[in-house]
């Protein structure tokens, strides 16, 4: 593979997608990556978009697409998109890490929407790669974050696009532990201070939702402080 080939990178603004972006940039170069952000009516939509823009600016990537998938809020069925379903707090084990149970923060079939936008855009602009920062094991246990899911989606691209279209899905952090992702990000100089992971707060991270708990645990394991602000001084030192 040549370094000059173009890649669409899904960048939510979280830690995993930020490091995924750093890896894509290291491989393809900033002028050959196109950054895609999809808002979906989630609680922290505005904050995540801000994180996306900050990271895109940091890397000087000009080719960007921000889309809004409004229908997720109408569809609901998830604590992230339906205000009537509470985001669980301090319940990481129960919430289904390691696939024991699908947590209420699962957004039905969400990643298929993101990947579909990525494939349409990639086919239109002639990109040959799609990067997505899905994490399988050391995460929340969502079905659409597992390697077998991306294998099938790869098949779908093969049968569902023009015969001449060649698009490969790349999941560079899927098998990594969160702490390894942090170390990789630090190694590559990724702007982890610009990322946002919290499911429910937009000024200071709550520190108690699944996403914050996984993140804080990972920074603790990596032996480095989390650079983003948390509610309460104690948490920031976790």
Q: Which residues bind a second copy (CB under 8 A)?
A: 65, 67-72, 74-77, 102, 106-113, 115-117, 119-121, 123-124, 143-144, 146, 148-149, 152-153, 155-157, 159-163
Residues 6 or more apart in contact with residue 102 via CB below 8 angstroms: 96, 141, 142, 143
Nearest approach, Cβ of 223 to a second copy (angstroms)? 35
Quick check: 19 and 142 in contact, CB under 8 A? no
The nearer residue to a second copy, 92 or 134, going by C-beta atoms, is 134
H or E segment at 65?
strand 64-68
Specify the DSSP class assigned to residue 127.
-
Closer CB to a second copy, residue 58 or residue 121?
Answer: 121
φ/ψ (deg, to 5) at 110: -60, -50
Q: How far is the CB of 147 from a second copy (least distance, A)?
A: 10
- What tokens does 25 get? 């940039």
CB of 189 to a second copy, least distance (A): 31
Dist. CA 215–CA 235, nearest whole Å: 12
Minimum gap (Å) between residue 187 Cβ and a second copy:
32
The smaller minimum CB distance to a second copy, of residues 148 and 234, is found at: 148
**Shortest Å distance, C-beta 200 to a second copy:** 20
The residue among 45 and 226 lying less far from a second copy, judged by its C-beta, is: 45
Euclidean distance between CA atoms 108 and 238, whole angstroms: 32
| Contact (Cβ atoms closer than 8 angstroms) between residue 37 and residue 13 | yes
4 or 148: CB nearest a second copy: 148
Beta pairing, strands 64-68 & 129-131: unpaired
CB of 151 to a second copy, least distance (A): 8
Residue 15 CA: distances (Å) to CA of 20, 151, 173: 9, 23, 11
26 or 102: CB nearest a second copy: 102
């Amino acid at each position: 593979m040549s370094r000059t080939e173009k890649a669409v990178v899904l960048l939510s603004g979280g830690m995993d997608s930020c490091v995924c972006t750093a890896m894509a940039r290291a491989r393809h170069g900033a002028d050959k990556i196109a950054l895609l952000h999809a808002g979906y009516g989630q609680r922290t939509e505005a904050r995540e978009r801000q994180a996306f823009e900050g990271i895109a600016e940091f890397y000087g990537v000009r080719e960007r697409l921000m889309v809004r998938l409004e229908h997720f809020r109408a569809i609901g069925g998830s604590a992230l998109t339906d205000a009537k379903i509470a985001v669980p707090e301090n319940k990481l084990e129960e919430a289904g890490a390691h696939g024991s149970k699908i947590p209420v923060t699962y957004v039905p079939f969400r990643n298929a929407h993101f990947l579909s936008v990525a494939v349409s855009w990639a086919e239109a602009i002639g990109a040959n790669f799609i990067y997505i920062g899905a994490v399988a094991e050391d995460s929340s246990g969502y079905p659409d974050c597992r390697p077998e899911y991306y294998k099938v989606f790869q098949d779908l691209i093969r049968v569902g696009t023009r015969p001449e279209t060649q698009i490969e899905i790349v999941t560079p952090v899927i098998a990594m532990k969160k702490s390894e992702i942090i170390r990789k990000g630090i190694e590559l100089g990724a702007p982890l201070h610009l990322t946002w992971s919290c499911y429910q707060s937009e000024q200071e991270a709550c520190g108690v939702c699944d996403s914050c708990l996984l993140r804080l645990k990972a920074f603790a394991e990596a032996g480095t402080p989390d650079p983003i602000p948390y509610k309460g001084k104690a948490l920031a030192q976790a």
